[in-house]
Amino acid sequence: MQFAKDSFYIALRERLQSLNPSRTIERNGVSRPAILVAENELPSSAPRSLDAYYIEFGEVVPTKSQGEQPLMCMECFLWYQTQGDSESAIDRGRKLGLLDLDLMAICEPPYARKRNFLVSPSADLGTGIFWSTPVLEAAKERAMVDGSRQIERWARVLLYFYAEVIPQ
Amino acid sequence: MSSSAELRGITSAAVVRAANAMLRTLGGGEIHLLLPAHSLPGKTAVELGAVDPGVEDVTLGPVIIRTLPTDNSGPRRRSEFLIPASAVDSEMTSHNANSVQSLLDSALGIVCEGQMYRIEGMTSEQFAGTTYLYRVTGCY
């Protein structure tokens, strides 16, 4: 399951990097594509970054399949927020639309190879992963303590994969 | 042109020293700020959470610790740490942070009397445009 999560993240990260190289965030002094897995980040009291995608993983259930190995289905949530580029934040809705557009673009095509990225070079694990088209939930606006307004959205994707075969 | 504070014979540097002395006089102790180690390369394994960066223990003092009230449904303990600017500013410089807020944002927490506190927030006290004291709130 971990390899499926890693492969999903790396696929989206590489696509975002080529689609929109300017969409980056600074983490620990290093610039990287503005997509990250929340559970892989260092715990911090800092608020989440603006204009970046946070991936969170949800429920995993086996689907009804005929093969020897069950096809697993995992919920993936992508969360992002923005306050726009202008001081007045009047363009926050338009900026959220651009984030939506980039998200839909990096989710196509909806498949990738499942690989082990902990070895160098990464190793193909022999199967693939594929996912559903993102469902964009209603955008929510939040008033911040400093008076600014931010708008955020959750997107839901179903990720399908075969569980890893553990050698005996 | 001198500020009104300087004309009265009080400079901001003096207030920074006075805050330091006051906290020391009141029996200021030490706390430990836990920061991730800095040698994190921008590698895929780091982004996948497969590399432990380790932690760096930064001692701050003199610090006064005040216990704050907590709700029944809230954390077990909330405390306010009064830290002189002189202690934090030197660490900010040595850790290449562009502000005290970003230094605290990058911290994993505060260790005080063996307990790890999660940082809730920070406010600063200023005089003549210079910060002389930070109030950091933490809980566990």
Query: How big is the CA angle at B27 (ends B26 and B30), to the nearest 5 degrees?
Result: 125
> pLDDT digit string (tens) for A81-96?
999 988 888 899 999 9
Q: Which of A31, A42, A118 to mutate to test the interface with B (most CBs of B within 10 A)?
A: A42
According to CATH, what is the number of the domain B13-139?
Answer: 2.40.10
Kindly indicate the confidence band of residue A103, based on its pLDDT and cuts at 50, 70 and 90: very high
Q: Which of A28, A32, A119, A120 to mutate to test the interface with B (most CBs of B within 10 A)?
A: A28
Compute the distance between CA of residue A99 and CA of residue A51 in angstroms, rounded to an integer: 7
Phi first, then psi, for residue B6 (nearest 5°) are -70, -35
Q: Please, are residues B80 and B137 in contact by the beta-carbon 8 Å criterion?
A: yes
Using CA atoms in the order B96, B102, B104, B105, what is the torsion angle rounded to 10 degrees?
-130
**Which phi and psi (to 5°) does residue A144 adopt?**
-90, 165
pLDDT digits (tens, 9 = 90+) for A126-160: 899 999 999 999 999 988 777 778 999 999 999 99
Nearest one of A81, A25, A45, A68 to B109, comparing CA atoms: A45
Among A153, A167, A136, A11, which Cα is nearest to A82's? A153
A66: left (phi over 0), alpha (psi -120 to 50) or beta: alpha
- Does residue A166 surpass a pLDDT of 80? no
- How many angstroms separate the CA atoms of B139 and B132, rounded? 23
| Average pLDDT of the segment spanning A21-40 | 89
Q: Which residues of chain A make contact with B53, given a CB cutoff of 8 A?
A: 28, 42
- Separation CA A145–CA A123 (nearest Å): 47
Q: What sign has the CA pseudo-torsion B130, B91, B58, A31?
A: positive
Q: Whole-prediction pTM value?
A: 0.81
Segment 75-134 of chain B within 8 Å of chain A by CB: 96, 102, 104-109, 118-121
Give me the residue from A29, A31, A39 closest to B49, CB to CB: A39
Task: Report which residue type is found at B120.
Answer: E
Q: Return the DSSP state at B110.
A: E
Domain parsing of chain B, residue ranges: 13-139
Which pLDDT does position B96 carry in this prediction?
80
Q: Respond yes or no on whether ipTM tops 0.85.
A: no
Residue A12 burial (CB < 10 Å; 0-12/13-18/19+)?
buried
Hey, what domains does chain A have and what are their CATH numbers? 2-162 (3.30.2000)
Q: For the purposes of burial, counting CB atoms within 10 Å of the CB of B20, is it exposed (0-12), middle (13-18) or buried (19 or more)?
A: buried
What does the pLDDT read at residue A75? 97
Identify any residues that bridge with B118 across adjacent strands, giving them in sequence order: B139
State which H helix or E strand residue A12 sits in. Answer: helix A2-19
Sign, CA torsion A81/A72/A104/A9: positive
For residue B1 the two structure tokens come to 């042109």
pLDDT at residue A66, rounded to an integer: 74
pLDDT at B8: 58
